[in-house]
Structure 1
Amino acid sequence: MALLEVRNVTAGYGDTEILRDVSMKVGEGEMVTIIGPNGAGKSTVMKTIFGLLHPREGSVHFSGEDISSLQPYQIVERGMCYVPQVSNIFTDLTVSENLEMGAFLAKKADIAARKERIYEYFPRLKERRHQRAGKMSGGERQMVAMGSALMLNPKLVLMDEPSAGLSPKMVGVIFEQIEKINKAGPAILIVEQNAQLSLQLSDRGYVLASGENRFEGTGQGLLKDPEVGRLYLGG
């Protein structure tokens, strides 16, 4: 049984249909990447999985349960967290306070230990734990957002464009940490503009085009597919 299964989902906003009959799976401990051109529906998939949108047709299943009609807080309670591309931190709070906000379902006695685990992933955050997050660089903010999501020890983390707007050096740093996080346990479903790098690290991937499944396969298989390369990887 897949940890996450999106079954023939159609979804959109108002009268606009964005996704049409989209299906995908994420297994326990897997890293799976979604790529595609702008407007393909990648972020809409993430929002639909996380309950910010609800399918018009089809369903979303997590740990064997149909979560299609649940609200985001209910989905978080079941072990899924979401790191959106924008507005993903509390800029007026310190790094430490942001992590505490991420642990809103955890027992108070567990929070300190969980923070230390996050600092092991992101030593820079420990150095800056008393700094307001709004004063940090884009890469450091992304670390805060990811750290906050991990405070609840999720089974699955959704990440929407974690490298957006970052320098090439910082992109490498962020993906190094994403790989470490994935190897430590949680599955990761990631939408990413740096398709080459993300697919290299992924077990599997999906290519969306015009709101529909276009290709799927292993990360390496998609990287080597000439049509995927020509259409979506600049090859």
Structure 2
Amino acid sequence: MLQTTNLYSGYGKLKVLFDINFKAKEKEITVVVGPNGAGKTTLMNSICGLATIHGGKVIFEGKEITGMPPHKIAKLGIAYLPQLGNVFAELTVEENLRIAGYLLDEREVKDRIDEVLDIFPKLRGFLKR
């Protein structure tokens, strides 16, 4: 499980998030929704180690990762792609799915892609596009 408890964060001295409690349970799809400026990106940056944490905790699989360097958080398997078109346009659908697992071994990548395709079966017909 990934969670934040009483998270206060922002950029430098600027505080953007105040007392955020968030949970994403294992094997569930979790969505963060809100209007522009609501703090969605700051939440993701806080979880990934890219924002300043002023208080509270970020916990992954029972271990506190607050303040951990971003490269170590990525090695735990936590990352996100900011909304800038949402995909790498020059890559195929399959390549976009594979790039998300660049830290995993080939078997794990295949298993994860299979999971995604089970959830979104229409993607199967677009893998080479």
**TM superposition score normalised by structure 1:** 0.45
Deviation sequence 1:18-77 (CA, Å, 0-9, x none): 122333344445565555554332331222112221302222111221111223442233
SS in 2 for 1:21: strand
Q: Is the CA contact 2:15–2:54 (under 8 Å) kept in the aligned structure 1?
A: no
Alignment-derived partner of residue 118 in structure 2? 120
Alignment-derived partner of residue 77 in structure 1? 75
1:18 aligns with 2:16: yes
Note the residue ranges of structure 2 that are not aligned, 5 or more in a row: none
Structure 2 CA distance for aligned equivalents of residues 112 and 5 of structure 1: 27
Deviation sequence 1:169-214 (CA, Å, 0-9, x none): xxxxxxxxxxxxxxxxxxxxxxxxxxxxxxxxxxxxxxxxxxxxxx
Q: Is the CA contact 1:10–1:58 (under 8 Å) kept in the aligned structure 2?
A: yes
Which among 53, 61, 65 is matched to residue 55 of structure 1?
A: 53
Tell me the CA shift for residue 116 of structure 1: 3.7
1:9 aligns with 2:7: yes
SS in 2 for 1:86: coil
Q: Is the CA contact 2:8–2:54 (under 8 Å) kept in the aligned structure 1?
A: yes
- The AA in structure 2 aligned to 1:39 is G
Structure 1 CA distance for aligned equivalents of residues 78 and 36 of structure 2: 25
SS in 2 for 1:100: helix
Q: Report the more deviating stretch, 13-22 or 56-65.
A: 13-22
Q: Is the CA contact 2:46–2:52 (under 8 Å) kept in the aligned structure 1?
A: yes
1:129-168 equivalences in 2 (<5 Å): 129-131=127-129
Tell me the CA shift for residue 98 of structure 1: 1.6
Alignment-derived partner of residue 63 in structure 2? 65
Q: Is the CA contact 2:19–2:56 (under 8 Å) kept in the aligned structure 1?
A: yes
Taking every aligned residue pair, what percent have the same amino acid on both sides? 36
Note the residue ranges of structure 1 that are not aligned, 5 or more in a row: 132-235
Q: 1:123 to 1:102 in 2, by over 3 A?
A: same
SS in 2 for 1:56: strand
Q: 1:15 to 1:87 in 2, by over 3 A?
A: farther
Tell me the CA shift for residue 7 of structure 1: 2.6
Tell me the CA shift for residue 86 of structure 1: 2.7
| Structure number with higher relative contact order (C-alpha < 8 Å, ≥ 6 residues apart) | 1
Q: 1:94 to 1:27 in 2, by over 3 A?
A: closer
Q: 1:94 to 1:26 in 2, by over 3 A?
A: closer
Structure 1 CA distance for aligned equivalents of residues 24 and 70 of structure 2: 19
Q: Report the more deviating stretch, 27-36 or 14-23.
A: 27-36
Tell me the CA shift for residue 127 of structure 1: 1.5
RMSD after superposition: 2.9
How many residues end up aligned between the 2 structures?
129
Q: 1:103 to 1:40 in 2, by over 3 A?
A: closer
Q: Is the CA contact 1:11–1:53 (under 8 Å) kept in the aligned structure 2?
A: yes
1:100 aligns with 2:69: no
